[in-house]
Structure 1
Amino acid sequence: MSDKVKYQMEFEVKSSTSVLYNMISTPSGLSEWFADDVNIKDDTFSFFWNGSSEEAVLLTKKKGESIKFQWEDDVEDGLKTYFELAIKVDDLTNDVALMITDFADEDEMDEAKLLWENQIADLKMVIGS
């Protein structure tokens, strides 16, 4: 298996930070845009899409700021990968942005970025951004 490559994306989101944080850090928020359904048990989040599921371990959570997960498959493979959703507020304009940090195989990078673009478009639609 090839090494996964880290990448970052930034999306401007017209939302309060508290609403955005709720959408990225709670099962109910995540199930509105990220997955069809989301369950949590201890620090493991189960994400469900079209009859399939993936589990991710919660690595860190900074209230009002960010949340970081690692997919169970990557844990089992011994990879040091993760995906992080972090809220960034511009000091001058107070514009709110969502920073995505993720990892993908180099030959799947375009598809991975497109998936995030589609997911964030869903998020913006849900919160009216």
Structure 2
Amino acid sequence: MSDKIKFEIEFVIQASPQLLYQYISTPSGLSEWYADNVNSRSELFTFIWDGSEENAKMLKKKSDEFVKFSWEENDDDSFFEIRIIVDEITKDVSLFITDFADEDEVDEAKMLWENQVSDLKQVLGSK
């Protein structure tokens, strides 16, 4: 199995950290933009896309700051993390995403995040 490559991608979003945190940490919030449907049982989250299900475990979270998940079927150390960053000077808020993908799928994975975050911006009414 090839090692996955870590990549990071950042999106500026016009929304408060408190509001954004609801969208990245709760099943109802995540189902608005990240997946078709999301269920959770304590730290185990089930993400549903087009009828297929994937389970992820919430490894860590910090209110209004970040969430970190690991896909259940991963046999490596990869994870995905969504962090809320507020620029101290401009007060701009951005989502900073860390994820892993196979070398030949990094561009595709970034595009997927771009599409999903664009859905999130629509839900938030953000530009």
How many residue pairs are counted as aligned between the two chains?
126
Supply the distance in 1 between the matched residues of 2:111 and 2:64 (Cα, whole angstroms).
Answer: 26
> Which residue does 2:101 correspond to in 1?
104
Per the normalisation by structure 2, the TM-score is: 0.98
1:39 Cα deviation after fit = 0.4
Supply the distance in 2 between the matched residues of 1:36 and 1:107 (Cα, whole angstroms).
Answer: 26
Would you say 1:53 and 2:53 are equivalent positions?
yes
Supply the distance in 2 between the matched residues of 1:64 and 1:14 (Cα, whole angstroms).
Answer: 15
Letter of the structure 2 residue corresponding to residue 35 of structure 1: A
> Which residue does 1:81 correspond to in 2?
78
> Which residue does 2:68 correspond to in 1?
68
Pairwise CA RMSD of aligned residues?
A: 0.5
Would you say 1:29 and 2:29 are equivalent positions?
yes
1:43 Cα deviation after fit = 1.1
SS of 1:61's equivalent in the other structure is: strand
- Write 1 or 2 for the structure with the bigger share of helix: 1
Tell me, which stretches of 5 or more residues in structure 1 are unaligned?
Answer: none
Supply the distance in 2 between the matched residues of 1:23 and 1:59 (Cα, whole angstroms).
Answer: 17
SS of 1:93's equivalent in the other structure is: coil
SS of 2:46's equivalent in the other structure is: strand
- Deviation string 1:32-51 (CA, Å, 9 cap, x unpaired) is 00011100012100000111
Tell me, which stretches of 5 or more residues in structure 2 are unaligned?
Answer: none
Show structure 1 runs of 4+ deviating over 6 A. Answer: none
Identity, % of aligned positions: 58
SS of 1:73's equivalent in the other structure is: coil
Per the normalisation by structure 1, the TM-score is: 0.96
